[in-house]
Each structure stands twice: as C-alpha cells, then as structure tokens.
Amino acid sequence: MVAARAGVSTATVSLVTSGKTAGRVSTDNIAKVEQAVSELGYVVDGLGSSLARGRSNIVILVAPDVSNPFFARVIDGVRSEIGAAFQLLLSVTEAGQMPTPAEVRTLLSLRPAGLLVDAPSAEFLAALPAAGPMVLLDTAGVESAAPSVNFDVAAGAVLLADHLAGLGHTTVAYLDSTTGTETFRVRREAFCRHARTLGMEVAAQAGTTIDVSAAAQAFAGAWPQWQRQGVTAVVCCTDTHAYGVLQEARVARLDVPGQLAVTGFDDLPYSETSSPGLTTVRLPAAELGRAAGRQLLRLLAGEELDGPGAAGRSLTLDSELVVRGSTASSAAPGP
Amino acid sequence: MVAARAGVSTATVSLVTSGKTAGRVSTDNIAKVEQAVSELGYVVDGLGSSLARGRSNIVILVAPDVSNPFFARVIDGVRSEIGAAFQLLLSVTEAGQMPTPAEVRTLLSLRPAGLLVDAPSAEFLAALPAAGPMVLLDTAGVESAAPSVNFDVAAGAVLLADHLAGLGHTTVAYLDSTTGTETFRVRREAFCRHARTLGMEVAAQAGTTIDVSAAAQAFAGAWPQWQRQGVTAVVCCTDTHAYGVLQEARVARLDVPGQLAVTGFDDLPYSETSSPGLTTVRLPAAELGRAAGRQLLRLLAGEELDGPGAAGRSLTLDSELVVRGSTASSAAPGP
DNA sequence: CTGAAAGCGCTTACAG
DNA sequence: CTGAAAGCGCTTACAG
C-alpha cells in the first residue's frame, strides 16, 4: 500500500482514510497520512475495501423504465438523499423489464450496501432472494414485508371521479396501460368503483404502452365507438397517454374540454404548458425518491423502521388533483 | 468456499465456474461441481472474484442525461451488445451534469472492466484519469485520443439546409440547446455555414434546455420578432425542441408548413405520428449504442482497434434526412 | 488432471 | 496511540 510509505502502518492509513481516527490516531500521524494521500493522489480501492468490510458502498436502483421523465425526478430525489454517502448506480435492463433472477444475482454479488426497487411486479419480489437492506418504491397493489414508499393513487382517483361527476359527466372511458404494473390496476379499479358510486358509467376501457403515439392511435381507433356510447371524458392512467389523446383530439377537431374532457396521472412538466393544460392527479415524484432514500439510509444505519418515533415501514405520499383547462369548463353533456 | 464440499479443491471449482475447464478438469469433476453449485445455489462472489482478477465485470455507462427517449435507445443498443458478458450499470449524476472528478474516482475504484462515456464535455475528458478501456459516444466536436463512435451530424445539417433551400425558404431561425454539449455547436455551425452558402439567411438564434415547454415558450417569445424578419422556417437542434414549436404554432394558429416549416434532429418515435409529422435528421441511436458496445468488447478482448482489417478507432454513423409533413408542402415564401 | 499456496487491496480485532 | 497479523472470497501460477 503506497500511502504506507508516509511513515506509518497500513492500519493507521486505513483508520485515517475511513475517518475512524477518534481517539485512535495522533493528530501528528493524521496530518502525515493526509499529506501522503494527497501527494500520491491515493483513492481507497473500492474492491478491496468492500471485500474486507463485507459490503460495497454502492446502492443499486432497479427500475423497469429508466428513461421516462417521471422516473427521472424519482432518481433525482433518491440522489439528493443518498448521493453523498453512497454511489448510486442504475441497473439497466431491457426496456420495460425488471431484471431476471440471474441478473439480480449478479447485481447482488456486487454486495451493494442497499437496494432500491421501483415498481416491482409480484413475481419479481417473489424471486428476489432475501438480500440486505431494501426499500420498495411505487409498489401500490403488491404485497411485501419490505419497507416501501408509495403514492396514494387510489385517493387521487377518487378525487378525479368526484371532479368529473361534479362537472356533469355521466359516461366516461378509461385509457389504461398495458405494462403489468400494479399501480395501474389500483388506479383503474379505484376510479371505476368510485365513479359507479357516483352514478357515472365507465363505458369502455382500452390499454396501450406508455407512449404518446400508441395512445393516440388507440384513442383514434376507439373514439367512434365511444362517441356512440355517449362518452364525454377520457380518463388516462398517465399523462403520457393523455398527451396522445389530446393530440388525436386536435387532429379530429374535437373541442377539449367542450366535447371531450381529458385527464391524466403524474403531472409531468409538460402538462402545465400543453394546450389546453392537462387536468391530472399529481404524484410527487421527487418526494418519492427522497423518502425512499431516507428510509434506506435509516435501514443502513441500523435503525428500526417500526420502533417508536420512527416513520414506519410503509410510507404513503398524498396525491393531489390539479385542475386545468382539459376539464375546467366542460359543457354539460347530453344523455 | 461452500462448493468445495463437493469433493474437490476450491481451485477446481473456480476453474469450472469460470469456464476454464478446457483440458484442465476431468468431465467427472466438472459434473460433480456443477451439481454442487446448483444444489447450493452458489453464485460466484463478484467482489472476491474481481479483486483476484484485478477488475470487475461491470461496465459503467456515464451520461449527462439518462432520462431522455433518445438516450434510452442508445442504452438499449449498448445492452444488446455487451449485456451478456458484462453487467451494465448507469452512473447517476445530477440531471444534465457529468460526474465530478471525485465521483469519477469513486466509480473507477470499482474497477469497471470498461467505461462508456456519452456526450462528454472537453473538461470532463481532460479531468478523466487515464483509466482502462473506454469508448466515447456522441462526442462530436470534442478532441480525444480515445476510441469513439459518432453521428455525422454535420452532414445531416447540410442535407437539411439543402432541403429547406430547395423548398424556397430564404430566411430561417435556429432554435438551439443551452446544454453545452459540443454536438449542438456542430449542428448549428454546419447548418448555418451551409445555409449561407445557399443564400439563405439565418435570421435569429435562440436556445433552451431540451424540454418541450421551454422550447414552446422560447418560440412564443421570439416569434413576433422572427415574423417581422420574414422567417418561414424554424430549424430545431432536437426533435424535442421542435415539439415545443409545433405546439406553440398550433396555439398561435400558424399553418405548418404553409406559414412556417419546422424541423428537428433525432427522429424520436413521436416525430412520425405528430401532426404534422416532423421533418428531421435521423440519428441512429440504437446503432450508436451497439457500435460503442462492440468497440468496447474489442478493446476488452485486447484487440487493436487500428490494426489492419479493424474498424478503426473512430467510427462515424451516417445521419439521414427524413422528410415529413412539417416541411413537405411548403408554400413559396415571400421576400 | 489436481490441490496447496500465494496474493488481490483493504479492514479490523488484538497485542503491545 | 500503533503495528503485525488474520481474513474477506476468489483466481492463478506452480508443483505434483
């Protein structure tokens, strides 16, 4: 070990570089080591260090969809909490897929300090070996004993149904996602259940991937039928789907919200500036990331998550209805 | 080492798990080891293995903007080439930023088998310690001795200028990016130079981040002035910028392409289905990722990249002009 | 073909 | 306060 050439043992160097000098190293030696370290540009080797202490200082974030503006904000939230202490790395899988069991094993063999798992499927969790500290994000609808942070999407769906019913809509369509994530099932079921309670009919459902043009095409295909059924509002399971509907509505020269109201979930930045602005259920993405980061940090510090005074194993973040032009001034629809 | 309980030495087990049995292990022992491995669910520990061989089997992809549909396709390309042999991990930095020198050192201390660096700034490369195998992606305009794969964005810009001149445009505006990436400078300069050669005036330039609504606002602010100057086309440095312009043009009830032609760079999926479809310079993202992955694989195999028959250290992928409705039937603009 | 041994670069009890 | 030593889990010459 090069830095040992600064006149002390490797043990002392190790104590200094890992900051465990409290009452164990003389200030004299600390200074010597620090100088040698900076002279040699020495960096502690992550591999040796990790092997010796049993785990690395990386945190792996596993997610099905890395490139998605919504998820970008989640990542940013995570980074702002744990970035200083740990090296955050994203696992890369086939688009829209969770890692296979084999990939997970490879990941785990790097001995990450912790794991963050976004939007896991039930099968993924079942196949996941009980590894070290782990926090789940956005896992609505999936059972798990692991600590998790979620959005209250069901409450948002209820607010949305109230809003549409209040505007006089009686027949609506629901545009769902075809990715199997449970959160979409929860959104749909909560909305449909409450809508029926309010006397609204959810006339039809369709589903596409989370993609503007796929949603646009699906809407274009379904609209003639929906129109015949008297649909006056389309509730989309994500803002991205809603963008597709708005786009196609424009092509078809439909008046939004006069002839058709459109809503989404997420509140992506674009929803504020689209024309008309999109009424949507705001899901606080960055806060989700931050909360998950904090949970993991607590876990890593050995804190009990469910002890007295703790925030609890399972956190739920409030969602919120943001009303904009895509529903605001809806004309009262006919029967 | 647990698997040694299968009746052989750890050395033999290691030979089997790393697939180096050729003429060194009896088929009898291979079978025994394989059975023990599967019975015990043994996975080679990445840390110990990496430490012993001097490098890990992870490849780190460093990029300034992970969540961007264009980059998602690059990632997918990389994954398809190297995914089987290496664990691909994405470094996570503050949105739009390259990792700091300190972050890079931490990354490097994990001893990645190789590094892939997307859209690096000159400063980043200068600060990068000469590490192991590395391939640069999309590094147009930045000097470096490292192997790289690039788009021929300048050639695409020239095709675009030709196309607009052929349609009769004489005054155009350029909507640039404010992220400092060199590729944007190259796009702009190549376009402006050739446009002037063709007798077109590039009346005005503006810049925003790569964001639909930022671009929309910038266009809304600039349009009155541009209109006075006789601008009949807006050339955008990315499709995302162009979406903002299209959106705002719709709000302002501008006829595209009758009153205003709009173009982009990238050819994102949405450009095909937007209305009108977007004329754009197609940059083959997935192919960029694949080519970079292949280069890195060669480097890791110890191949010389510039030897005879090799593909060369520096690859350039052709860009291509895709003409769609946003320019197709432009009316001849007045003076 | 096989195993005992050294070593990868660190950290952490343990004596002093 | 400090250093010699053991050990983290593997791989790879090296003898046999």
Instruction: Tell me how far apart the alpha carbons of residues B297 and B293 are, in angstroms, rounded to a whole number.
Output: 6
Which of A87, A247, A251 has its CB closest to that of B107? A87
A270 interfaces chain B, CB cutoff of 8 Å = yes
The string of pLDDT tens digits covering residues A246-281 is 988 988 889 999 999 999 999 988 898 787 899 999
Contacts of A93 in chain B (CB under 8 A): 79
CA of B55 to C1' of D13 (A): 18
Q: Closest nucleotide (CA of A2 to C1')?
A: C9
Confidence class of residue B112 from pLDDT cuts 50, 70 and 90? very high
The string of pLDDT tens digits covering residues A38-49 is 888 888 888 899
Residue whose C-alpha is closest to residue A314's, from A190, A138, A184: A138
Confidence class of residue B72 from pLDDT cuts 50, 70 and 90? confident
B123 interfaces chain A, CB cutoff of 8 Å = no
B186 pLDDT exceeds 50?
A: yes
Mean pLDDT of chain A: 88
**A153-283: CATH architecture:** 3-Layer(aba) Sandwich (3.40)
Most confident of A180-184, A320-324, B240-244: A320-324
Q: Determine the pLDDT at residue A332.
A: 44
Q: Determine the pLDDT at residue A1.
A: 66
Q: What percent of chain B has pLDDT over 90?
A: 49
For chain B, where are the alpha helices, taking DSSP H only?
A: 10-17, 27-40, 46-53, 69-82, 101-108, 122-127, 153-166, 182-197, 212-229, 239-251, 270-273, 285-300
Q: Which is higher by pLDDT, B18 or B138?
A: B138
SS3 call for A211: coil
Q: What is the average per-residue pLDDT within A285-306?
A: 88
A240 pLDDT exceeds 50?
A: yes
SS3 call for A144: coil
Mark which residues 149-178 of A lie under 8 Å from B by CB: none
Judge whether B58-152+286-317 and B153-283 match in fold.
yes
Q: Judge whether residue B17 contacts strand D, using its CB and a 7 Å cut-off.
A: yes
Q: Closest nucleotide (CA of A53 to C1')?
A: C11
A3 pLDDT exceeds 80?
A: no
B310 pLDDT exceeds 60?
A: no
Q: Which of A61, A75, A110 to mutate to test the interface with B (most CBs of B within 10 A)?
A: A110
Across A76-94, b (16+ Cβ under 10 Å) vs e yields bbbbebbbeebbbbbbbbe
**DSSP-derived secondary structure letter, B256:** T
Q: Determine the pLDDT at residue A153.
A: 96
Q: Which of A104-113, A129-138, A307-316, B43-52 has the lowest mean pLDDT?
A: A307-316
- Look up tokens 């990436």; give the residue: B181
List chain C nucleotides near protein: any atom < 7 Å from a Cβ. Answer: 1-5, 7-13
Calculate how close chain A gets to B199, using CA atoms only, in Å: 36
Q: Determine the pLDDT at residue A303.
A: 73
A88 with B89: Cβ contact below 8 A: no
A329 pLDDT exceeds 90?
A: no
Which fold would CATH assign to domain A58-151+286-317? Rossmann fold (3.40.50)
CA of B51 to C1' of C6 (A): 14
The string of pLDDT tens digits covering residues B241-294 is 999 999 889 888 899 999 999 999 999 888 987 878 999 999 999 999 999 999
Contacts of A213 in chain B (CB under 8 A): 269-270, 272-274
Q: Determine the pLDDT at residue B329.
A: 63
Which of B89, B213, B269 has its CB closest to that of A272? B213
CA of A204 to C1' of D8 (A): 60
Q: Determine the pLDDT at residue A309.
A: 47
B332 pLDDT exceeds 60?
A: no
B309 pLDDT exceeds 60?
A: no
Contacts (Cβ under 8 Å, ≥6 apart) of B160 = B191, B235, B263, B281, B321
Q: Determine the pLDDT at residue B60.
A: 93
User: β-pairing, B279-282 with B320-322?
Assistant: antiparallel
Q: What percent of chain B has pLDDT over 70?
A: 94
User: β-pairing, B279-282 with B134-137?
Assistant: unpaired
Q: Determine the pLDDT at residue A241.
A: 94
Q: What is the average per-residue pLDDT within A65-87?
A: 86
A250 interfaces chain B, CB cutoff of 8 Å = yes
- Look up tokens 């989309």; give the residue: A236
Confidence class of residue B331 from pLDDT cuts 50, 70 and 90? very low
A310 pLDDT exceeds 70?
A: no
**B58-152+286-317: CATH architecture:** 3-Layer(aba) Sandwich (3.40)
Most confident of A101-105, A158-162, B10-14, B40-44: A158-162
Reduced to 3 DSSP states, what percent helix, strand and coil does chain A have, rounded to the nearest 5?
Answer: 45, 20, 40
Contacts (Cβ under 8 Å, ≥6 apart) of B240 = B210, B211, B212, B215, B264, B266, B268
Q: What is the average per-residue pLDDT within B161-167?
A: 97
B310 interfaces chain A, CB cutoff of 8 Å = no
The string of pLDDT tens digits covering residues B204-240 is 788 898 888 889 899 999 999 999 999 999 999 999 9
B220 interfaces chain A, CB cutoff of 8 Å = no
Mean pLDDT of chain B: 88
B140 pLDDT exceeds 90?
A: no
The string of pLDDT tens digits covering residues A187-212 is 999 999 999 999 999 987 888 988 88
Cβ(A160)–Cβ(A321) under 8 Å? yes
Domain ranges in chain B are: 2-44, 58-152+286-317, 153-283
Strand partners for B321: B281
CA of B239 to C1' of D14 (A): 61
CA of B310 to C1' of C6 (A): 39
